[in-house]
Structure 1
Amino acid sequence: MKAATRFIARPLSLVLLSAALGGCSLFGSSSGPKPAALEAQVGSGNARQLWQTRIDGVQFPLSVATAGQSFVVAGNDGVVQALSAADGAVLWRGEAGAKLVAGVGSDGRFAAVVTRDNELVVLDAGKPAWRKPLSSTVSTAPLVAGERVFVLTVDRQVMAFDAADGRRLWDLRRPGDPLTLSQPGVIGAFKDTLVVGQGARLAGVDPLRGTLRWEANVATPRGTNEVERLADLVGPMARVGDTLCARAFQSAVGCVNAERGATLWSRNTGGTRGVGADAQQVYGVDGSDRITAWKLGNGDTVWSAEQLLNRRLSAPLAVGKQLLVGDYEGYVHLLAADTGKTLARLPTDGSPVMAAPVLLGDTVLVATRNGGLFALRPE
């Protein structure tokens, strides 16, 4: 299957496949640049696989949720499961009743997904609770928090629903850009504030009323036409204390102080996947799969690594002193966080890693396009 970056033109609502943005997808194109050869003499290092299981497959932008001691996942077929992080045992299982385009968000009890029919479906401990048709297309997994379900549409409208009964509580509409990106955006929580991506800005929203508290630019859109000025924030977002970091599509990586709602720094750089971070650095993958580390405090470049060029990498995950990224052949690469040098490489099932690896405690979960779920422990 070939994937291409999509963007939505408003108000005509045309879905375009952009040749100009070729290679921006997770899979890339078979006619693109040749992927770098795997480095020789790289073993599994101190990482090991704890368990593995399988779901139907993942051909939509999956976001793996973590809640308590469980991972919450969903497959193409709409089956949603909570899996024990310790051994992969199924804690509960439910069905959305249709194939999915986005998911999954969960607080452990409630889980939310969006179907291809553009319905928001919420399960309560695996049992169908309610479903609502949505008026706008969704590519981002819903957020479930504070007994509410928050939905971010591709035109960056934000909607809030009561998690128990599906009542629509509020919606926030901002002045729209001519083009919006049909790619997972940014939605998360910081203390008592809902944080969403609104074009090239991070916005802090009152989750009870849907009113804007603050907004801060991650990028300043530039260009001579609407395509060149497209700079929507793409997920995942990274949080370290009061600092939130995100990538603006093909434009920049930047960090914001969420307590003050102020931009800390922004660096011009291409790329289409979200970022990872730890207490010292922010990590991102550009359009050629060059990996760069920036200082968390001021955005200065620490290192760049080119050994995985054109391997269609996932967004990165920082774990301890290591950085994890998945590639199009299902390998999980472990890099030294201080230098970018390769430490280890672990195989999965040979199909592309479909989402940023997710950490819960000391366990990392990796999901592949063929539906493989692999729990790893870097040590």
Structure 2
Amino acid sequence: MKKMFNRSLAMSLVALGLFGCAGEEDTIVMAPLPVVESQFTPATEWTASIGDGVGHYFSKLSPVYAYGKVFVASRDGEVKALDPETGKTLWEVDLEGDQPARLSGGLTASYDKLYIGDENGQAFALSVDDGSVVWKKDIDGEVLAKPLADESLVMFHTSKGTLVALKEDSGEPFWEINNDVPNLTLRGDSSPVSISGGVFWGMANGRLAAALIQRGQLLWQQPIGTPKGSTEIDRLVDVDASPLIIGSNLYAVGVNGQLVAIDLRSGAPMWKRTYSSATDLASDGSRIFVVTDKDHIAAVDVRSGTPLWTNDSLEYRQLTAPVLINQYLVVADGEGYLHWIDRATGKFVAQQLIDEDGIAVPPVETDDGFVIITREGDIKKMQIPEGS
């Protein structure tokens, strides 16, 4: 039977080499909040809420800004569309049926629909206009990652190692690709990405896969990490981070693995650097930014993989994936702070307490600001001061 291991604890144990003894979790110490002289303080334009949020559960329920709306969801099945200028609720639906919804995989907006999956193995398509359910389908395994919509298909990556493609308009199955899953994995899955008719995703067995979207034909697999060590925790090699495509190259990172640059046409690696992470990457075109399993933030050159800088001041603060907002690199942490970083130097430029409930997913940029959601479902639309 496959065992899913808690991400935050597992990543800390992997980093410290600890597993199996009582009390060892207590040796993992969150770094104190760094003292930052903020150059600016983003102002709050409006606030809203979405159910009880995600609580303490693992979740990738990031807000989505599309079709002139901000879409948000809570783990218990509530989904809303908000006006990005006022925060007013435009529509809301509750997807909880005979059993708790346990939403976790999503959101993706495309083809005038909002796609989302849950831990019960269900996939939903909602109308972006009014939230009505266009279709609902059972699929094999929990959906813990954001689906991909492309070439009139929507693709869900499940916890059973299956990538399943459904027709975007009806939800009818089109193809599926199955892969073996190790006995022990981190809780979470890689969100697929696509370009030029190909789909790419990371797998729990430490490999990156490529397939043709219209055929569901597997093209190649490239190892990102190789299982090593004598215990299951030592041998974790999940590739849970979503691959990153820049031009004709793809970049991927895995747990106990490497940050790898891959030529999309051949699937051959161009360079490799030793970084261990289960968190999505970010890039400004010339640099790649990675948050490691120790919550160190690093920048490497996109062409050569040469390390440019590392910031370890937020060690074990349960960081979100990094994102770019305006000219800055931004991460949020488990204590509810937002950290703004100079992407050229790695130095802090601003810091702000958003909410002591903590933040599980990174902020999402809109046309004139950004939206951030706390673990308890509080939503804030914020504006970056002029001149920042």
One-letter amino acid of the counterpart of residue 36, structure 1: A
One-letter amino acid of the counterpart of residue 147, structure 2: P
One-letter amino acid of the counterpart of residue 362, structure 2: A
Task: Tell me which residue corresponds to 2:122.
Answer: 119
Most deviating of 177-186 and 123-132: 177-186
What's the secondary structure of 1:287's corresponding residue?
Answer: coil
> What are the superposed Cα offsets for residues 92-126 of structure 1, whole Å, 9 maximum, x if unpaired?
43332233232222216222222343222222231
TM-score (structure 1 length as normaliser)? 0.85
Q: Measure how far apart 1:255 and its partner are.
A: 2.6
Query: 5 Å matches for 1:280-291?
Result: 280-291=286-297
Most deviating of 86-95 and 275-284: 86-95
Structure 1: distance between partners of 2:192 and 2:4: 23
Q: 2:381 aligns with which of 371, 375, 379?
A: 375
One-letter amino acid of the counterpart of residue 70, structure 1: K
> What are the superposed Cα offsets for residues 168-216 of structure 1, whole Å, 9 maximum, x if unpaired?
1111123544544331323122243222213333322222211123443
Assess if the C-alpha contact under 8 Å between 2:151 and 2:214 holds in 1. no
What's the secondary structure of 2:71's corresponding residue?
Answer: strand
2:164 aligned with 1:169 = no
2:50 aligned with 1:55 = yes
Q: Measure how far apart 1:299 and its partner are.
A: 1.0
Structure 1: distance between partners of 2:174 and 2:117: 18
Q: Measure how far apart 1:294 and its partner are.
A: 0.9
Assess if the C-alpha contact under 8 Å between 1:236 and 1:315 holds in 2. no
Query: 5 Å matches for 1:116-155?
Result: 116-125=119-128, 126-155=131-160
Query: 5 Å matches for 1:224-263?
Result: 224-263=230-269
Task: Tell me which residue corresponds to 2:303.
Answer: 297
Q: 1:338 aligns with which of 337, 344, 367?
A: 344
More strand per residue = 1
2:84 aligned with 1:88 = no
Q: Measure how far apart 1:84 and its partner are.
A: 3.9
Assess if the C-alpha contact under 8 Å between 2:10 and 2:186 holds in 1. no
One-letter amino acid of the counterpart of residue 71, structure 1: V
Assess if the C-alpha contact under 8 Å between 1:187 and 1:194 holds in 2. yes
2:10 aligned with 1:21 = yes
What's the secondary structure of 2:240's corresponding residue?
Answer: strand
Structure 1: distance between partners of 2:104 and 2:267: 31
- Aligned pair in 2 of structure 1 residues 256, 285: CA closer, same or farther (>3 Å)? same
Structure 2: distance between partners of 1:174 and 1:49: 45
One-letter amino acid of the counterpart of residue 210, structure 1: G
- Aligned pair in 2 of structure 1 residues 367, 245: CA closer, same or farther (>3 Å)? farther
Assess if the C-alpha contact under 8 Å between 1:283 and 1:292 holds in 2. yes
Task: Tell me which residue corresponds to 2:108.
Answer: 105
- Aligned pair in 2 of structure 1 residues 19, 104: CA closer, same or farther (>3 Å)? closer
- Aligned pair in 2 of structure 1 residues 89, 298: CA closer, same or farther (>3 Å)? farther
Assess if the C-alpha contact under 8 Å between 2:8 and 2:318 holds in 1. no
> What are the superposed Cα offsets for residues 201-237 of structure 1, whole Å, 9 maximum, x if unpaired?
3322222211123443433443345543322212344
Task: Tell me which residue corresponds to 1:322.
Answer: 328
What's the secondary structure of 1:149's corresponding residue?
Answer: strand
Structure 1: distance between partners of 2:367 and 2:246: 16
> What are the superposed Cα offsets for residues 259-316 of structure 1, whole Å, 9 maximum, x if unpaired?
5433232211233322211111111122322211111111111011122222211111
Q: Measure how far apart 1:332 and its partner are.
A: 0.6
> What are the superposed Cα offsets for residues 123-152 of structure 1, whole Å, 9 maximum, x if unpaired?
223101222222323321222333322110
What's the secondary structure of 1:246's corresponding residue?
Answer: strand
- Aligned pair in 2 of structure 1 residues 289, 16: CA closer, same or farther (>3 Å)? closer
- Please provide the CA RMSD for this pair: 2.8
Structure 1: distance between partners of 2:230 and 2:258: 17
Structure 1: distance between partners of 2:39 and 2:68: 26
- Aligned pair in 2 of structure 1 residues 18, 209: CA closer, same or farther (>3 Å)? closer
Most deviating of 244-253 and 164-173: 244-253
Q: Which runs of 5+ in 2 are unaligned?
A: 15-23
Task: Tell me which residue corresponds to 1:6.
Answer: none
- Aligned pair in 2 of structure 1 residues 145, 22: CA closer, same or farther (>3 Å)? closer
- Aligned pair in 2 of structure 1 residues 178, 374: CA closer, same or farther (>3 Å)? same
Structure 1: distance between partners of 2:7 and 2:72: 30
Structure 2: distance between partners of 1:49 and 1:19: 30
Structure 1: distance between partners of 2:261 and 2:208: 9
- Aligned pair in 2 of structure 1 residues 186, 117: CA closer, same or farther (>3 Å)? closer
Q: 1:192 aligns with which of 191, 197, 203?
A: 197
What's the secondary structure of 1:23's corresponding residue?
Answer: helix
What's the secondary structure of 1:170's corresponding residue?
Answer: strand
- Aligned pair in 2 of structure 1 residues 161, 20: CA closer, same or farther (>3 Å)? closer
Assess if the C-alpha contact under 8 Å between 1:94 and 1:123 holds in 2. no
Most deviating of 299-308 and 244-253: 244-253
Identity %: 24
Task: Tell me which residue corresponds to 1:4.
Answer: none
> What are the superposed Cα offsets for residues 14-60 of structure 1, whole Å, 9 maximum, x if unpaired?
445699826369xxx98353333333352362644443321111233
Task: Tell me which residue corresponds to 1:72.
Answer: 71
TM-score (structure 2 length as normaliser)? 0.83
One-letter amino acid of the counterpart of residue 149, structure 1: V
One-letter amino acid of the counterpart of residue 115, structure 1: D
2:309 aligned with 1:310 = no
Most deviating of 12-21 and 248-257: 12-21
